[in-house]
Structure 1
Amino acid sequence: MVKKKHAFLLMVIPAFVLFFTFHTYPALQGIFYSFTDYKGYGNWDFVGFKNYFNVFQDGRALSAYGFTFQFAIVATILVNIISVLIAIGLNSNIKLRKTLRATYFLPYILSVLIVGYIFKFMFTHLLPQIGQALNIEFLSTNILGNPDLAWLGIVLVAVWQSAAFNTLLYLAGLSTIDDQVYEAASIDGAKPWARFWKITFPLIAPFFTINMVVAMKNFLMAFDQIVALTGGGPGQATESISLLIYRGGFQGGEFAYQSANAVIYFIVIVAISIIQLRVLERREVK
């Protein structure tokens, strides 16, 4: 028993030390500096909650919050709709299920930055050339250079790459539904939409909850896609909170101020996740 306890400690302690060193300690340090005027270098003094109050008066920060919420909500809705449709299609095709599952999961394992740069080339050069050749005005220009349309390009890339993970979860949920339930519904004359809304969706509701919470959290933390595609531009039209915190904290001498912004954003993400869980869990079949 003693040997097992020692073995357990030998496995846990190194992991705990690494996690605390590279995750917990930097987080606590950031919270500490959020109450100071630290610029990332030099001396500092305590300023209390001044940085937190300034965040709510910063037009650039509020604009970044607005863009991030807009992007996250639209992307979360789209990725779940697309993932459900793909999962239902794969689930109905037993012969090609494994092959197609591997194909759809491929984008998820690719580097976000590499995918972003590839799509940036497509938006900048390939699609405009195709649009000009076919006389399609919408495709003839680079949407990433349009302040009103650039965010749509980011949504497209983010949804395309994220759909794989959500699809796998929905496939796992569909595999738990007994085929006899559908057979009984067919005998009763239920149409496809009725079978989905009355049978499929309620039974995969726990997986829907997980996907909604995880997708929203990931999209709220969007960073790599934006860096690769637009760099936050044109201007500041696609600047997310994560990108703003990085730029201000590590490049703009606003380490303490952006640390306060990060703390606020962490609280916002946690609050949104808890609200999602509370609301969506009510729809689950008990």
Structure 2
Amino acid sequence: MNSQSNVKEVDGAVVVSEKRTQKAVSTPLFSKKKLKDAGLFTLFVGPVFLAFTLIVLIPFFSGVYYAFTDWNGITGSVQWVGLDNFKYLIFEDKQFHASFLLTTKYTIVAILLTNVIGFGLAILVTQMLKTRNILRTVFFMPNLLGGLLLGFIWQFIFVKGFASIGEITGIPLFELAWLGDASTAFWGIVIVSVWQGAGYIMIIYIAALQNVPQELIEAARIDGANRFQILRHITMPLVAPAVTICLFLTTASSFKIFDANLSLTNGGPFKSTEMLALNIYTEAFVNNRYGIGEAKALIFFLVVAAITVLQVTISKKREVES
């Protein structure tokens, strides 16, 4: 720091003023603190980002590239075909269209049933019941089983168990060929998926219901509101964020259903229950048309992304309105 003295005369008096000048202190571009923070950031985020790049990003962008090629997934020769795969899927592939429509139908049904049953179970186990903890465990347990294992278990139930019950009781419902007919096979997949997913959705709704202020419910009861009015005007608006989350989860999982479809029916009978994920798998790894399979997967990704973003946007707006 330098100082400069100036002598001035004001009204006959001599005034000495000292002017201090300070040199700018330059901060190094890479200080020890910045290097330490960057090192810690790299230490914690680096391995995760590397794994994410190897497992997600590289396969995703390589899949986008192969969607524009005519590759069988085996040979080393890859031929660029441009938009030919997408033209074939849009205008010629009838099975792709049928699988897309079936998956959309299944998604709508599964979303409604899973959320309604999950919310109903959440209301049940949040009541003052002595067995509510046991019921929570029982309802959540199917979610812990893998999809393939669960599908094979239910395949045995549909084929052997229901047939035995039908022979003993004579009830027509148990005498149906559940996995041998297109309509009943579809509902068989729905039953298994809802049975597996409702317990997980129930946990999310339980967390939301436990955060509803009991003072509001008690005040509404004092004012003469019945259970339905309390549920509609108090409970539902307060659990709206949980509804948004559950709709998002069920939408994504329903569109991507694969393991239950594969283990229960494998797309049969005659590809009448072949969902879109199974159709993509069959195209790429059974028919050895990897390029067309990747084109289907890219279209599938864009559609699911658009639908989930739209669903979340609409649900968030309704949260604000309510």
TM-score normalized by structure 2? 0.86
Give 1:99-138 correspondences, 5 Å limit.
99-138=134-173
Residue 307 of structure 2 aligns to which amino acid in structure 1? I
Name the aligned partner's letter for residue 64 of structure 1. S
Q: CA deviation at 1:4?
A: 4.3
Matching of residues 143-182 of structure 1 within 5 Å: 143-182=178-217
Distance change (3 Å), C-alpha of 1:104 and 1:138? closer
Structure 1 unpaired stretches of 5+ = none
User: Shift in Å at residue 284 of structure 1?
Assistant: 1.1
**Alignment partner of 1:40 is 2:73:** yes
Matched, 1:18 2:51: yes
Whether the 8 Å contact between 2:73 and 2:284 is mirrored in structure 1 is: yes
Contact 2:177 2:184 in 1 (8 A): no
Secondary structure at 2:143's aligned position in 1? helix
Q: Check whether the contact 1:69–1:220 (CA below 8 A) recurs between aligned residues.
A: yes
SS at match of 1:149: helix
1:201 aligned to which of 236, 241, 244: 236
Partner of 2:42: 9
Residue number among 226, 238, 254 corresponding to 2:261 in the alignment: 226
Shift of 1:184: 0.6
CA contact (8 A) 1:205 1:285 kept: no
Runs of 4+ residues over 6 Å off in structure 1: none
2:244 is equivalent to residue 212 of structure 1: no
Structure 2: runs of 5+ lacking an equivalent = 1-32
Residue 99 of structure 1 deviates from its aligned partner by 3.0
The separation in 1 between residues aligned to 2:204 and 2:56, in whole angstroms, is 28
Cα offset, 1:285, TM superposition: 4.6
Deviations 1:73-105 (A, max 9, x none): 101100000011110111112643333222221
Q: Structure 2: how far apart are the matches of 1:66 and 1:114?
A: 27
1:231-270 alignment runs, 5 A limit:
231-270=266-305
1-structure distance, mates of 2:55, 2:195: 31
Aligned to 1:284: 319
5 Å-filtered alignment, 1:75-86, equals: 75-86=110-121
SS for the counterpart of 2:106 is helix
Cα separation, partners in 2 of 1:265 and 1:203, compared to 1, 3 Å = same
Instruction: List aligned pairs for 1:51-62, cutoff 5 A.
Output: 51-57=85-91, 58-62=93-97
- Secondary structure of 1:153's partner? helix
Measure how far apart 1:11 and its partner are. 2.1
Question: Which range moved further: 131-140 or 176-185?
Answer: 131-140
* Bigger share in helix: 1
In the TM superposition, residue 28 of structure 1 has moved relative to its aligned partner by 0.5
My pick for the range that moved more, 43-52 or 167-176, is 43-52
Structure with more strand by fraction: 2
| Structure number, greater radius of gyration | 2
Whichever residue aligns with residue 284 of structure 1, its letter is: E
Aligned to 2:104: 69
The alignment partner of 1:143 has SS state of coil
Q: Which has the higher contact order (CA 8 A, sep 6+)?
A: 1
Shift of the alpha carbon at 1:10?
A: 1.7
Tell me if structure 2 keeps the 8 A contact 1:38–1:255.
Answer: yes
SS of 1:144's partner is coil
Letter of the 1:50 counterpart: D
Q: 1:31 aligns with which of 47, 64, 81?
A: 64
Cα 1:240/1:198, change in 2 over 3 Å: same
Match of 2:309 in 1: 274
- Write the letter of the residue equivalent to 2:84: K
Instruction: Name the CA distance, whole Å, in 2 between partners of 1:285 and 1:86.
Output: 26
Cα offsets for 1:174-226 (capped at 9, x unmatched): 01111011101101111111111111111101100110111011010000001
State the one-letter code of the partner of 1:240: M
C-alpha contact 2:152 2:264 (8 A) present in aligned 1: yes
Q: Residues 203 and 285 of structure 1 are in contact (CA less than 8 Å); yes or no, is this contact kept in structure 2? A: no
Q: Is the 8 A contact 1:202 1:283 kept in 2?
A: no
